[in-house]
Amino acid sequence: MPIPKDILAYHAAQTSEDKRICDMLAAAIAAGLPGAEGRIWHRHPVWFIDENPIVGYSKLKDAIRLMFWSGQSFDERELAPEPPDTKFKSAGVRLASVDEIDRAALGRWLGKSATIQWDYKNIVKRKGKLVRLT
């Protein structure tokens, strides 16, 4: 699936190294989650499966933060809770250089993100309670 134009515009607004990181992440996400829908959500690129946010990234002061909404359930030590001490299940990594992207780990995380999901789509309806999807 091609990268949506609004996501490409987000990339174009980044510094050259951050753009390289974003381009690589978007290509990996598109290949690893071919049925996911990518769009800008809350000003950042995010991919959804059945309207449930799965993975996205955002620009921080000194890095690009790659975040998986259900990442704490992946049992991957490289993924740190985002933000720390949250009641949610998100976890991610911070990338300051394209050389810091572990492609094998990224592929593994994307595979897990398709099958290990918490229902963020209905979190408001459930008054903040997260339910694991099967």
| 117 sits in which H/E element | strand 117-118
Residue 29's domain comprises 5-133
Distance CA 19, CA 1 (A): 19
Q: How many separate domains does the chain show?
A: 1
Distance CA 68, CA 65 (A): 10
pLDDT exceeds cutoff 70 at 29 = yes
The pLDDT, as a whole number, for residue 2 is: 87
Give the model's confidence band at 48: pLDDT under 50 very low, under 70 low, under 90 confident, else very high. very high
pLDDT exceeds cutoff 80 at 7 = yes
pLDDT exceeds cutoff 70 at 85 = no
CATH code assigned at 22: 3.90.1150.200
pLDDT exceeds cutoff 80 at 82 = no
